[in-house]
Chain A
Amino acid sequence: MSSIPLTWLLGLSAAIFAIGVAGMIMRRNILVMFMSIELMLNAVNLAFIALAHRLGSMDGQVIVFFVMTVAAAEAAVGLGIIISIFRNRETVQADDLTLLRW
């Protein structure tokens, strides 16, 4: 059976990662920035799975489990902090966070 070439998968992963980085840099809504970070982590997961498949090693797949749980924990912490900022300031725009010089 022919399978999708590794370079395609790595290319897709790199593209998703780049979209995440671009979103993080260009968007100013904290929630969208946060979603961009999650996108980056998922791009990494894709790369790990593709490489694990190619190398025939389990390590890559195990890492994906850990990355997913860490991403969930990060989401919980991040949303908590965003809620607390919203309660204090009624804004989710990064440009409004000017109490400390950015």
Chain B
Amino acid sequence: MTTWFPVVVTLIVAGLVVGVMCTINMLLGPKRPSEIKGEAFECGNPPSGSAWGRFSVRFYLTAILFLVFDVEVIFLYPWAVEIRRLGMFGFVEALIFIVILAVGLIYAWQRGALDWD
């Protein structure tokens, strides 16, 4: 248990610091609410529409593509670390893997999944 003691101390200290700061802010800070201040923040532009508006389904498509290609890269990290030891065999294997991924990308591109409109 003793090895976890520093972690516990860190947790307590972190909680205390945040708590104290929030309390001081609440007690001392001036509060003058107005309608404009209460608006949703959209980088300085006047907000338009509801914050709960629907997103275009195209975002899903982009997200799905990103998700797949992002996660597949997981296999390249261990290979990159051991590239010297794996030698030519590993290189060819990784190449085949990337070609298969590229086939998927070319397909998505040809089907127009990468076009916005």
By a beta-carbon cutoff of 8 Å, the part of chain A in contact with chain B is 1-2, 65, 68-69, 72-73, 75-76, 79-80, 83, 87
B74 and A79 contacting across the interface, CB-CB below 8 Å: no
Produce 1/0 per residue, B64-83, CB < 8 A to A.
11011011101100100000
A65 and B75 contacting across the interface, CB-CB below 8 Å: yes
CA distance A2 to B72 in the complex (A): 35
B3 and A65 contacting across the interface, CB-CB below 8 Å: no
Cβ 8 A contact of A80, one of B64, B71, B72, B78: B64
Cβ 8 A contact of B64, one of A65, A69, A79: A79
Residues in A with CB closer than 8 Å to B67 are 72, 75-76
For chain B, which range describes its interface: under 10, 10 to 19, 20 to 34, or 35 or more residues?
10 to 19
A to B CB contacts below 8 Å, 25 in the list: A1-B3, A2-B1, A2-B3, A65-B74, A65-B75, A65-B78, A68-B71, A69-B71, A69-B72, A72-B67, A72-B68, A72-B70, A72-B71, A72-B72, A73-B68, A75-B67, A76-B64, A76-B65, A76-B68, A79-B60, A79-B63, A80-B64, A83-B57, A83-B60, A87-B57
Q: A2-B1, A73-B68, A87-B57 are in contact. List 19 more A-B contacts (CB 8 A).
A: A1-B3, A65-B74, A65-B78, A68-B71, A68-B74, A69-B72, A69-B74, A69-B75, A72-B67, A72-B68, A72-B72, A75-B64, A76-B64, A76-B65, A76-B67, A79-B60, A79-B63, A83-B57, A83-B60
Dominant SS at the B interface? Answer: helix
CA distance A1 to B2 in the complex (A): 9
By a beta-carbon cutoff of 8 Å, the part of chain B in contact with chain A is 1, 3, 57, 60, 63-65, 67-68, 70-72, 74-75, 78
Nearest-neighbour CB distance to chain A for B59, whole angstroms, equals 11
CA distance A42 to B32 in the complex (A): 46
The 3 closest A-B pairs by CB, nearest first: A72-B71, A76-B64, A76-B68
Nearest-neighbour CB distance to chain B for A2, whole angstroms, equals 6
Nearest-neighbour CB distance to chain B for A90, whole angstroms, equals 12
Nearest-neighbour CB distance to chain A for B42, whole angstroms, equals 27
